[in-house]
Amino acid sequence: DLSLMGNAKSAVIEHHHITNGKAILLDFSITKNVFSLLLSAIILLLVFTSVASNYKKGNQIPSGIASFVEPLIIFVRDEIVKPNIDSKKSDRFMPYLLTIFFFVWVNNLLGLVPFFPGGANLTGNIAFTMTLAVFTMLMTNLNGSKDYWGHILWMPGVPTPLKPILAVIELVGVLTKPFALMVRLFANISAGHIIILSLFSLIFVFKDAAWAGLSGPLALFMNVLELLVAFLQAYVFTMLSALFIGQAVETHDHH
């Protein structure tokens, strides 16, 4: 008994040392969001590896999963990228924008699956949307043309005393654009999940199973609507990213 008490005392002391910073315990366990992130990356790798191999074989007519993915790629190219980015530079940003579109869309869909391996709602996590927004901000500003930075830091045609004030305002705008991207995706995806959860919560709030007759159909309708929202939010995020990049790489003719 004394030996057990001694071991317990030493364990308490060791725990005390850990909590006081003498030893740091890091938790690297995989959460649902991390698992969903890895799963979506694996899904996209498998899908696009299969699509790429289909064309490497010399098949001009897509078959299998390529017949489903190709129209989406063409849609992103013709309806999102080319209208917003100069045609001479659009191909340069296609890989990034395609990755953003499919990555957001797949994770939106996984968040709607209420059982394994879905249900993580990764795009409803503001840390995830912030990371994507930061990537778009870096892609935009690192590729910004001389004209782009000139109009931000020293606007032509503006009285000199006003230029420093407007430069500060424009620099704030550089940060508000990715902030809007981050909040828009996070808020729209989270709102749908909150509504569905609220509908099911009515059963427990009123403590009456009869409410399931109303909550169930409404929640099902919201789930179907969320399928549209999943695609729409991927489209909006990609379109705004393409718009910001297009504004940054555009060159102007000065007369």
Query: pTM to 2 decimals?
Result: 0.82
* Residue 208 pLDDT greater than 60, yes or no: yes
Residue 8 has pLDDT above 50, yes or no: no
**10: pLDDT strictly greater than 60:** no
Structure confidence at residue 170 (pLDDT) = 86
Q: Tell me the two tokens of residue 124.
A: 């409803």
Q: Average pLDDT in the 217-226 region?
A: 91
Kindly tell me if the per-residue pLDDT of 81 is higher than 90.
yes
Neighbours of 196 (CB within 10 A): 21
Residue 23 has pLDDT above 70, yes or no: no
How high is the pLDDT of residue 253?
56
Q: In the block, which residue shows the tokens 């879905």?
A: 118
What whole-number distance in Å separates Cα of residue 95 and Cα of residue 181? Answer: 19
> What pLDDT is stored for residue 61 in this prediction?
77
Q: For all residues of the chain together, what is the average pLDDT?
A: 85
pLDDT tens by residue, 152-188:
888 887 788 888 888 888 889 888 999 999 999 999 9
Report the pLDDT value the prediction gives residue 2, as an integer from 0 to 100.
39
Buried/exposed code over 20-59 (b: 16+ C-beta within 10 A; e: otherwise): eeeeeeeeeeeeebeebbebbeebbeebbeebeebeeeee
Separation CA 67–CA 51 (nearest Å): 9
User: What per-residue confidence (pLDDT) applies to 20?
Assistant: 55
Greatest C-alpha distance within the chain: 93
Section 47-52 average pLDDT = 89
Whose tokens are 């996209």? That residue is: 44
At residue 92, what is the residue type?
R
pLDDT tens, residue by residue, 55-76: 887 777 777 888 889 999 999 9
pLDDT at residue 28 tops 70: yes
Spatial distance between the Cα atoms of 91 and 95, rounded to a whole number of angstroms? 8
Higher-pLDDT residue of 92 and 250 is 92
Q: What are phi and psi of 198, to 5 degrees?
A: -65, -40
> Token pair of 70, please?
């190709």
Amino acid (one-letter) located at 122: L
Query: In a 3-state reduction of DSSP, which class is residue 242?
Result: helix
How many angstroms separate the CA atoms of 166 and 255, rounded?
A: 22
Q: CA 188, CA 164: separation in Å to the nearest integer?
A: 36
E strand or H helix that includes residue 74: helix 66-75
Q: E-assigned strands of 41-143?
A: none
pLDDT of 6 reads 45
From residue 84, how far is each of 9, 62, 216, 246, 247 by CA, in Å? 67, 27, 42, 5, 8
What is the predicted pLDDT for the residue at 221?
92
At 176, is the secondary structure helix, strand, or coil?
A: helix
* pLDDT reported for residue 3: 46
Query: Distance (Å, rounded) from C-alpha 119 to C-alpha 72?
Result: 25
Indicate whether 103 pLDDT > 60.
yes
